Amino acid sequence: MDKMKLHRMEYYGYHGVFPEERKLGQRFYIDLELELDLREAGEQDALDKTVNYAEVHYTVKDIVEKESYQLIEALGERIASSLLDTYTSVNALTVKVTKPHPPFDIHFQGVTVELYRARK
């Protein structure tokens, strides 16, 4: 299966368990890997035969920036289900949600969840 990958899309959202995360917000990075057949798009050089990645970006942006979740797992689920519902040519996808600066009193470069979802 062919893949379309969108790397490190950056958004500002209000997700987290702690009240200050949901009030102040923070940066989130989203990576996507969409599994779909890209042959016709490549052979015909036709946008209507593929997924418009600019539209995908705006779909994800609306979810990350206009909705609020306690867990990045829930944010990832919402992104995955929305993309599978919207883009019927996508057979499966991987969503990676990274919170680069979680508010802990320890030092590390962030936390990431990665979800793989396929059509049933």
Residue 74, C-beta contacts closer than 8 angstroms, at least 6 positions apart:
none
What's the rounded Cα separation, in Å, for the pair 42 and 115?
28
What's the rounded Cα separation, in Å, for the pair 94 and 116?
4
Tracing tokens 């946008």 back to the chain, one arrives at 47
Given the residues 3, 61, 99, 120, the one annotated as active site = 99
| 51 phi/psi in degrees, rounded to 5 | -100, 130
Active site residue 66: no
Q: Which residues are catalytic?
A: 99
